Amino acid sequence: MSIIDPRTGEALTAPVEQSDATSAAAPPGTAENGSAAPGTVRPEDVIVDVDAGNIQQILEASMQVPVLLDCWAPWCEPCKTLTPVLEKLAVEYRGAFILAKLDVEANAEIGSQLGVRSVPDVKLVSQGGLVDNFTGALPEKDIREWLGRYFQPPEDAPTSPEELAEAAMEAGDAATAREIYQAQMEQYPEHYPYQVSLARALAAEGRGDEARGLLDNLPPEERDAAPARGVRASIEFSERALPHAEIEALAERDDSEARFQRALRQLADGQYEAGLEGLLRLMQSDRGYGDDAARKTLLQVFDALGAEHPLTVAYRRKLFALLY
């Protein structure tokens, strides 16, 4: 097959051999010359297998259209997760780049020349040179963000699972968020942020023990990082805070106990800025409440969010100004 520029229908290279599967009759929606009709892109127009017989043509093609080189191996389990995502994106991006798949086990010399040390290794090649690369089976959301550095995202790009889960969390539907993150975790078992997000959803459902168990099984560097600490803090705040019904019953009260409980509930629900603001105001009005409980809780939140978090930076300054 020729490598086709879907934007023009013109061949970028001379024809190279193709399998019986890709030489089958063109499906509906293709032009007479076999290229995709306007507005449509076929996988075979933007995806090609690479070997010693066509690697030079691939590099020549990159002078006109960027090439995303997917370096993989048959024994690589993460590759089996990543490649279908790249294939989907290649079609979705309608020819903004060509996806070239290189089996480094069958083409070890090419892999060595390209500096491939582990797979999956995805390299962006343009004008015959390496622009950027990433290694490992990144989640689709991260790949989209990486591609977004170099290509205009399609206008009709689907909503990512992460965005759906976050929308569910914001709507108070932790169960839906949990189901999404469970599916993502099964697909990307080594992408630990999904496990942290799943723990957050479990905590929001009141399943703190399950959430803690999930966090406890993370590698030490992930278990002790700010996102996981934040979930642990949220679980603790949930256990200390009054239920929502009791918080609603305090609506008419403005004493220190009511204000503290409202702030704790906000922290438990992930409304960190509102909770921090409530604690700071409580310090201003009643510093001695609960043996300095407001200040101690503020420090707990800072530790959970991490020193570099914008809310930590902002409210540390406010706390310092209040104390000194």
**Catalytic annotation, residues:** 76, 79
Per the DSSP assignment, residues forming a β-bridge with 4 are 11
Put residue 21 in one of left, alpha, beta given phi > 0 → left and psi -120 to 50 → alpha. Answer: alpha
Per the DSSP assignment, residues forming a β-bridge with 50 are 102
Query: Which candidate, 128, 36, 10, 31, places its Cα nearest to that of 90?
Result: 36
Where would I find the beta strands (DSSP E) of the chain? 4-5, 10-11, 47-50, 67-72, 98-103, 121-126, 129-135
Residue 120 CA to residue 32 CA, distance in Å, equals 37
Instruction: Yes or no: say if 147 and 163 are a contact pair by the CB < 8 Å rule.
Output: no
Residue 169 CA to residue 171 CA, distance in Å, equals 5
DSSP string for residues in 133-196: EEES---HHHHHHHHTTTSPPPTTPPPPHHHHHHHHHHTT-HHHHHHHHHHHHHH-TT-HHHHH
Strands 98-103 vs 67-72: parallel, antiparallel or unpaired:
parallel
Instruction: Yes or no: say if 137 and 120 are a contact pair by the CB < 8 Å rule.
Output: yes
Q: CA torsion sign, 54 to 59 to 63 to 67? A: positive
